[in-house]
Amino acid sequence: MNYKKSVSLTIICLGALTILVTLTGQINHRWDGSRTIPVHQIPLKDEYDQDIIPTESYPLPYSTRYTCGPCHDYNKIHNGLHFNAVTSDQHGRPGEPWVWIEPKTGTVLPLSYRNWKGTWNPSEIGLTPWDFTLLFGRHMTGGGVAEPKDEEMSPESRWEVSGKIEINCMGCHSASRKQSHSEWAKQILRQNFRWAAAASSGLGEVWGMASRLPGTWDIFDGPNPDDTEWAVVPSVRYRLNHFDSKFRVFFDISNKPDDHRCLVCHSVSPVHLERFMADEDVHSTAGMKCIDCHRNDLSHDMIRGYEGEAIKSQKQQIADFSCIGCHTGKVTFKGAKTNAGRMGAPYPKHIGFPAVHFEKLSCTVCHSGPLPQKEFTRVRTSRANRLGIYGIAQWFTDFPNIIEPVFIKDQAGKITPHRLMWPAYWGRLEKEKIFPLKPADVQAAAKEILDVEEHIAQILTALLMNLEIEGIPVLVTSGKVYELNADGGLDVSLYSGEKPKAEIIWAIKKNGKIIPLVPEFDPSAEELDVEIETRIQKTLEALATFPDPPGEPALVYKNVMYQVVEGYLEVMERPGIIAEAPQWFWIKDNKTQLLASEFQIRTVVATVGFEQSLTEEQVELVLKSLAQAENRQKTKEKGKFFYISSGKMFSLDGTGQLTAAEHSAAEPIAWPLGHQVRPAQQSLGINGCTECHRDQSAFFFNKVEGVGPLKTQKVALLSMFRFMGKDKPFQKLFGLSFTVRPVFKVVLFISTLIIGSILILLILLALGRFSGIIEKRR
Amino acid sequence: MFGIIILVSLFAMIFALMFHHYRRVLTTAKINSADFKITDYFSWYVNRISKQISVLFKNSFKKSCQKLLKKVIIFRYPEVEKWSIVGLSLSFLFLATSGFIYALFFTRSLHGYALLFHVILGGVFSVSLSIVVVLWAPVYSFGTEKEKFSNDSPDRRETPRPVTVKQKILFWLFVISGFLLILTALTLMLPVFSLKDHLSMVDIHRYSALVALLSAIAFVYFTLAENRK
């Protein structure tokens, strides 16, 4: 090889290497052993890997893929636990599902891309990654399903407008108090996906709403100067004081995320607990961080810390971080002993504790979650009940109704405390296969059957249009007063005034008093009082603003009807109706219809002010509507529609009546709880065996009652011993045996004393004989 | 491991006793034990068992049982002693059966109803063993007749037959292992010891049970053998 050739080859090789390094953009950062973390003063990059100049007029939001990616392998992180639900085939022990809540249809549907028992894969029920991200992006970490590949984007999605949600590194790793989860949730709701990380990190302010932009909008289109009020294009205004002269930003990074970052998505609190009474997990109190046990390397393949995880994942070092591994150092994996005592974990002596408990129970039975009591503890969790999002509106939901601790035998055969909830959803049963229905499909078929509260609220809203009433319009019925609330729904309070003249009265609440919508008058009088006439006319005009009214509004009192015709109040006789009190109607084709039907009033009375949002009557009507809709479609396969709630499957029988039956699809879904760990003094069993082993103990004999959005008496009732796979008579007998156990101990003690004394005597005699003392005494 | 030890020791014990019995038969028949052949021994044993069974069913089963019970020495004892021995025997039979069946044939330790009854009959065992020890200690104590600490006992009575040293050793072996069984059962119920101690206690309980079973079998065998004489 001549000189020229070798120089050319060397140049080509060096060039190829440079290109390779540039393309991958990765610096292979191996830990040098220093326990410090570098200062993150770095340039921001947008999603096209271009430097962000904050002083530009329309800077793009920063991209974590390109800002953090040069030092931290984004694609490697992308396979971590928080991002790999769709791609991983190792799902481990069941965890908390995502719960799709839709109050109007009474849907409480547990979803998960992981194949955990009782959950539905979103794709099975027709939810695209776009739908899923819109529903749950508020508590997602970004990446994974929220960052689909181009070929995975469904045509109806709006990823091009909103952008994808890249992994929100700062969501976990920010040590700044400016990191705002509420801002994140707000931006996700506005479909400002690509702007959410910048907005929530506090690096800049984000304006505009991608949700209001046309589906054809593209980020290169830029802002729309013609619309600065409604369809405002999202944009970020970076806070310039965060940048240095080279436009580098200081990221206040926590290598080990602070607990409050984890708790954004992993908070669990009893519903009725006062904040000042809430204790931390005993590990946190001891100064530990979540990440001390739930650790990970760059792969972000986090240790979940449950027993058996090491065997499942075939990684020995994981075993150190389970309760047993850290506290006892038992042999857990291929004969290897765990490195117990890490972080000063104390060794539990478990004095007086029969060993059988360690075979049958997980550590969390006695040490985690609330103590079992007669009533289960109802909890709210961040992701299921939308906690931790602060603002004027109330974000959190009461459903799903999650209770704990429910002791269930887990996959490893050990009894473990679980959180439990009951699913509720509409579906179609076809050849024993369940097909859940989307809430939107149910609403489309059910029409006004489910819009009852909304209907009443709309009437009250329409009445508000009458500015002369100087009060709040209310509905008085069944001894209760219903009025509008800030969320567009109804609030209920008890009626304490005089007995109303009619069962249903539309009235005004003024200074706490209920007064009629129209003052008392004599309809048979020759001429009406002008004030009353005006009030009637204004009220009728206000009612006319009701969206899609079923007819023209009218007032009937005795046999006189008042109606606004061409702007004038017309008074006419109305034969056939004699109203003892003024009654408001819709009139169409000479047919009268009450402002709210008896069904609507009945339903509102039964549901408003209660946690349940549906009545059996509504369910029956919706099921009929669904069946009729299917009949109209003339599909070949006829299915049976059902509604699941409270552990029962409700469907129509041959005569069209609603019946409830048991079905595996109606069974509750449960997942083991790990936290919060209580101090040793609050362990279950600290006060003796009878905390569990007694007749009627909460541990064995508590009953889990089915709950759901349907108001019904037909609910499933499951005893705890059934979840544990235990025999009730035996547990009763065994529990009773503990009442005589003190006597039993005394008997054994006396026996050992007698036999022991004789044995000592025998030994002394033998010693005496062998030593010759007895002979000498003789 | 414990299961293997149970099986080996039980088979060894049964074989040793059977062999002892065979040798005794040879001695009685004045046959030189040097001519011993294992095949002869087994054929003798099978014949003997079948003969016993045929005798049992030759008469009515009930009569045979009654005849057998009359032969049992304990029915010659006073009421308290008699029922204590019955209690001890039956409870021990159940305790040994339930305990060793679970140790041999189940992966899980004793649990459920078997455990419940095991505990209940453990109480019966402890009470009856205490009574039997109190009553039989004078008879089974070592030393000369004069040295026996029961000589001063007011309810001293004649034993049906003098006991051999072998019986005495086996009796006290049974009592000591019984004592350990009760002691470990008691301590397992007390909130005093740690988990490690509990596990040791369970092991002591198991091995004491095995010693008790072996000594009980040997004791019964030698007692019956002495009665034959």
DSSP letter for each residue of A680-698: GGG-TTTT-GGGTSSTT-H
Provide the residue type at A645 as one letter.
S
Q: Are B180 and B229 in contact (CB under 8 A)?
A: no
Alpha-carbon distance A333 to nearest alpha carbon in chain B (angstroms): 20
Q: Give me the pLDDT at residue B34, please.
A: 62
For residue A576, pLDDT over 50 is answered with yes
Q: What is the 3-state secondary structure (H, E, C) of A254-289?
A: CCCCCHHHHHHHHCEEECCCCHHHCCCCHHHHCCCC
Determine whether the interchain pair A349/B141 forms a contact, defined as Cβ–Cβ distance below 8 Å: no
Task: Give the integer Cα–Cα distance in Å for A684 and A372.
Answer: 8
Closest-CA residue to A365 (of A407, A321, A421): A407
A44 Rama sector, left if φ>0, alpha if ψ -120 to 50, beta otherwise: beta
Q: Hey, what are A334's tokens?
A: 């291929």
Binned at pLDDT 50, 70 and 90, residue A4 comes out as low
Angle between helical axes of A741-771 and B112-140 (0-180°, round to 10): 30
Q: Is residue B69 domain-resident?
A: no
Task: Find chain B residues with C-beta within 8 A of A758's C-beta.
Answer: 133-134, 137, 175
Q: Give me the pLDDT at residue B154, please.
A: 45
Task: Give the integer Cα–Cα distance in Å for B160 and B196.
Answer: 47
The count of C-alpha atoms lying within 13 angstroms of the C-alpha of B4, restricted to the half-sphere facing its C-beta, is 1
Q: Hey, what are A661's tokens?
A: 């039956």
Mean pLDDT of all residues in A727-744: 90
Global pTM reads 0.86
Between A706-720, A730-744, B19-33, the lowest mean confidence (pLDDT) is in B19-33
Q: Give me the pLDDT at residue A27, please.
A: 57
Determine whether the interchain pair B198/A353 forms a contact, defined as Cβ–Cβ distance below 8 Å: yes
Binned at pLDDT 50, 70 and 90, residue B156 comes out as very low
- Tell me the C-alpha to C-alpha distance, in Å, between residue A118 and each of A148, A648, A667: 25, 15, 8
Task: Give the integer Cα–Cα distance in Å for B15 and B21.
Answer: 10
The DSSP H or E segment spanning A598 is helix A598-607
Task: Give the integer Cα–Cα distance in Å for B198 and A556.
Answer: 85
Mean pLDDT of all residues in A145-149: 94
Mean pLDDT of all residues in A724-751: 92
Q: What is the 3-state secondary structure (H, E, C) of B161-177?
A: CCCCHHHHHHHHHHHHH
A249 contacts: CB under 8 Å, gap ≥ 6: A41, A42, A43, A44, A203, A242, A243
Q: Of B109, B129, B137, which has the smallest distance from its Cβ to A751's Cβ?
A: B129
The residue behind tokens 């003789």 is: A778
A683 contacts: CB under 8 Å, gap ≥ 6: A366, A367
Domain coverage including residue B194: 74-228
* Beta strands A614-615 and A710-711, pairing class: parallel
Determine whether the interchain pair B142/A766 forms a contact, defined as Cβ–Cβ distance below 8 Å: yes
Determine whether the interchain pair A762/B137 forms a contact, defined as Cβ–Cβ distance below 8 Å: yes
**Which candidate in A690, A748, A776 is best for mutational testing of the B interface (most B CBs within 10 A)?**
A748
- Tell me the C-alpha to C-alpha distance, in Å, between residue A198 and each of A46, A78, A159, A240, A717: 11, 19, 18, 13, 48
What percent of chain B is modeled with pLDDT above 70? 78
DSSP state of A765: H
Task: Give the integer Cα–Cα distance in Å for A651 and A643.
Answer: 7
Determine whether the interchain pair A751/B137 forms a contact, defined as Cβ–Cβ distance below 8 Å: no
- List residues of chain A with CB under 8 Å from any CB of chain B: 348-356, 358-359, 688, 727, 730, 733-734, 737, 741, 744-745, 747-752, 754-756, 758-759, 761-762, 765-766, 769, 774
Q: Give me the pLDDT at residue B176, please.
A: 95
Binned at pLDDT 50, 70 and 90, residue A7 comes out as low
Binned at pLDDT 50, 70 and 90, residue A691 comes out as very high
Q: Is residue B153 domain-resident?
A: yes
Task: Give the integer Cα–Cα distance in Å for A407 and A91.
Answer: 22
How would you label A452-464 residue by residue, b for 16+ Cβ within 10 Å and e otherwise?
Answer: bbbbbbbbbbbbe
The dihedral built from the CA positions of residue A453, A459, A465 and A468, taken in this order, carries a sign that is negative
Interface of B with A in 139-198 (CB under 8 A): 141-143, 147, 149, 172, 175-176, 178-179, 182-183, 185-186, 188-195, 198
Q: Are A446 and A624 in contact (CB under 8 A)?
A: no
Provide the residue type at A354 as one letter.
P
Establish if B111 touches chain A: CB-CB under 8 angstroms: yes
Mean pLDDT of all residues in B131-158: 65
Q: Is residue B39 domain-resident?
A: no
Task: Give the integer Cα–Cα distance in Å for A422 and A648.
Answer: 10
For residue A2, pLDDT over 60 is answered with no
Q: Kindly report the CATH number assigned to the domain that includes residue B110.
A: 1.20.950.20
Binned at pLDDT 50, 70 and 90, residue B228 comes out as low
Tell me the average pLDDT of chain A: 90
Task: Give the integer Cα–Cα distance in Å for B180 and B174.
Answer: 10
Task: Give the integer Cα–Cα distance in Å for A707 and A713.
Answer: 10
**Which candidate in A751, A767, A769 is best for mutational testing of the B interface (most B CBs within 10 A)?**
A751
DSSP state of A52: P
Give the pLDDT confidence of A384-415 residue by residue, as tens digits: 999 999 988 788 888 899 999 999 999 888 99
Q: Is residue B45 domain-resident?
A: no
Determine whether the interchain pair A358/B127 forms a contact, defined as Cβ–Cβ distance below 8 Å: no
Q: Of A754, A765, A769, which has the smallest distance from its Cβ to B130's Cβ?
A: A754
Interface of B with A in 2-31 (CB under 8 A): none
Closest-CA residue to A329 (of A153, A110, A337): A337
Give the pLDDT confidence of A609-651 residue by residue, as tens digits: 999 999 999 999 999 999 998 888 766 677 899 999 999 999 9
Between A13-22, A175-184, A365-374, A571-580, the lowest mean confidence (pLDDT) is in A13-22
Helix (H, G, I), strand (E, B) or coil at A566: coil
Cβ contacts below 8 Å, chain A against chain B, sum to 100
Task: Give the integer Cα–Cα distance in Å for A672 and A407.
Answer: 9
| C-alpha of A315 from chain center | 32
Task: Give the integer Cα–Cα distance in Å for A421 and A401.
Answer: 6
**Does A621 or A498 have the greater pLDDT score?**
A621
Give the pLDDT confidence of A755-765 residue by residue, as tens digits: 999 999 988 88
Angle between helical axes of B38-58 and B61-71 (0-180°, round to 10): 120
- Tell me the C-alpha to C-alpha distance, in Å, between residue A402 and each of A396, A397, A405, A675: 14, 11, 10, 15
Q: Of A352, A733, A759, which has the smallest distance from its Cβ to B179's Cβ?
A: A759
Give the pLDDT confidence of A235-262 residue by residue, as tens digits: 999 999 999 999 999 999 999 999 999 9
Q: Are A656 and A624 in contact (CB under 8 A)?
A: yes
Give the pLDDT confidence of B179-202 residue by residue, as tens digits: 999 999 999 988 888 888 888 999
Q: Give me the pLDDT at residue A96, please.
A: 97
What number of residues does chain A have?
778
Q: Is residue B219 domain-resident?
A: yes
**Which candidate in B198, B199, B203, B205 is best for mutational testing of the A interface (most A CBs within 10 A)?**
B198
A481 contacts: CB under 8 Å, gap ≥ 6: A474, A475, A492, A493, A494, A495, A509, A514
The dihedral built from the CA positions of residue A195, A198, A200 and A206, taken in this order, carries a sign that is negative
For residue A593, pLDDT over 60 is answered with yes
Task: Give the integer Cα–Cα distance in Å for A717 and A132.
Answer: 32
Between A289-293, A495-499, A664-668, B174-178, the lowest mean confidence (pLDDT) is in A495-499
**Which candidate in A736, A752, A778 is best for mutational testing of the B interface (most B CBs within 10 A)?**
A752
Angle between helical axes of A728-737 and B112-140 (0-180°, round to 10): 40
Give the pLDDT confidence of A315-336 residue by residue, as tens digits: 888 889 999 999 988 766 667 7
Q: Is residue B1 domain-resident?
A: no
Q: Give me the pLDDT at residue B155, please.
A: 47
Between A321-335, A580-594, A701-715, the lowest mean confidence (pLDDT) is in A321-335
A777 contacts: CB under 8 Å, gap ≥ 6: none
Q: Are A366 and A358 in contact (CB under 8 A)?
A: no
Mean pLDDT of all residues in A422-446: 94
B139 contacts: CB under 8 Å, gap ≥ 6: B150, B159, B163
For residue A705, pLDDT over 90 is answered with yes
Mean pLDDT of all residues in A276-303: 94
Q: Give me the pLDDT at residue A777, please.
A: 72
Q: Are B211 and B203 in contact (CB under 8 A)?
A: no
Task: Find chain B residues with C-beta within 8 A of A769's C-beta.
Answer: 142-143, 147
Total domains present in chain B: 1
For residue B10, pLDDT over 70 is answered with yes
Alpha-carbon distance B135 to nearest alpha carbon in chain A (angstroms): 11
Q: Is residue B14 domain-resident?
A: no
Helix (H, G, I), strand (E, B) or coil at A416: strand
Q: Is residue B49 domain-resident?
A: no
Q: Give me the pLDDT at residue B49, please.
A: 76
Helix (H, G, I), strand (E, B) or coil at A402: strand
Q: Give me the pLDDT at residue A15, please.
A: 55
For residue B35, pLDDT over 70 is answered with no
Give the pLDDT confidence of A59-92 residue by residue, as tens digits: 999 999 999 999 999 999 999 999 999 999 889 9
Closest-CA residue to A723 (of A649, A621, A647): A647
The count of C-alpha atoms lying within 13 angstroms of the C-alpha of B139, restricted to the half-sphere facing its C-beta, is 17
Q: Hey, what are A373's tokens?
A: 């009591």
Closest-CA residue to A450 (of A585, A651, A621): A621
- Tell me the C-alpha to C-alpha distance, in Å, between residue A766 and each of A710, A759, A761, B164: 81, 10, 9, 17
Alpha-carbon distance B183 to nearest alpha carbon in chain A (angstroms): 6
Determine whether the interchain pair A748/B182 forms a contact, defined as Cβ–Cβ distance below 8 Å: yes
For residue B147, pLDDT over 50 is answered with no
